[in-house]
Amino acid sequence: MEQIKLNTITYQEFVVLDEDNNPVTGLIKNDFTIKLYNPDGDEVSGSVTISVNEIGSGLYKISFTPDKLGKWILIVYHSEYFPYGKGNDFYCVYVTVNELNRILGLFQENYRIFNPQYVVKDGQYCLTSATWKIYFTPSDCDNDVNAIATYNMVATYDNNGKMLTYKSIKQ
């Protein structure tokens, strides 16, 4: 089951081949029967916008945007090439596992700062820029491997060492 995010466009690719395994090109949305079921088990292909685009060489991409949390089911039929249907299950969440890992890292667990730069203001060392990374495990942090994300930080200060601005941008 593929994990998808609430109110975020979701894509599913599928291949259309003829009986000789040659790619079928030139199909449009109306050439397919599409069934989309929401987490309540309701068939919603008539009320949720669904797009089908040909990528090329018989490869097509279907898209929709889930508006409810839970399990979604997508089945695509073609009367000649796959009358039995092709489908996938999706599980719609509020945040993805990768986003959750980043959130945990922002709590400064398995967190490491690189290349700190300072300026002296009114006798204080003020951090003006740095790169920082978050990691899955303490070992990854110690060895600087498998970073979840890397950020660049920049800060400005007044003459008394009071911070005026702070910005951290994900690379």
**pLDDT tens digits, 97-154:** 666 666 665 667 788 999 999 999 888 899 999 999 988 788 999 999 988 889 999 9
Question: Given this model, what pLDDT does residue 22 score?
Answer: 96
- The CATH code of the domain that includes 39 is 2.60.40.10
- Same domain (yes/no): 30, 77: yes
Under DSSP, the state recorded for 49 is -
Q: 93, 111, 143 — which closes off a domain?
A: 93
- Same domain (yes/no): 89, 8: yes
More confident residue, 169 or 107: 169
Question: Given this model, what pLDDT does residue 106 score?
Answer: 64
pTM here is 0.58
- Tell me the pLDDT band of 39, cut-offs 50, 70 and 90: very high
Q: 39, 59, 93 — which closes off a domain?
A: 93
| SS3 at position 140 | helix
The mean pLDDT of the chain is: 91
- Same domain (yes/no): 137, 55: no
Q: SS3 helix, strand, coil % of the chain, rounded to 5?
A: 10, 55, 35
- Same domain (yes/no): 7, 82: yes
According to DSSP H, which parts of 32-164 are helical?
A: 97-105, 138-143
Question: Given this model, what pLDDT does residue 109 score?
Answer: 79
Nearest to 71 by CA among 57, 96, 92: 92
Residue 134: which domain range?
Answer: 100-170
First CA to last CA distance, the chain: 29
Number of domains making up the chain: 2
Q: 93, 126, 145 — which closes off a domain?
A: 93
- Same domain (yes/no): 31, 73: yes
Distance of alpha carbon 85 from alpha carbon 91, whole angstroms: 20
Distance of alpha carbon 52 from alpha carbon 56, whole angstroms: 12
- Same domain (yes/no): 23, 71: yes
- Same domain (yes/no): 22, 73: yes
Q: Of 45-54, 75-84, 145-154, which gets the smallest average pLDDT?
A: 145-154
| Pairs from 112-118 (Cβ < 8 Å, separation ≥ 24) | 112/141, 112/144
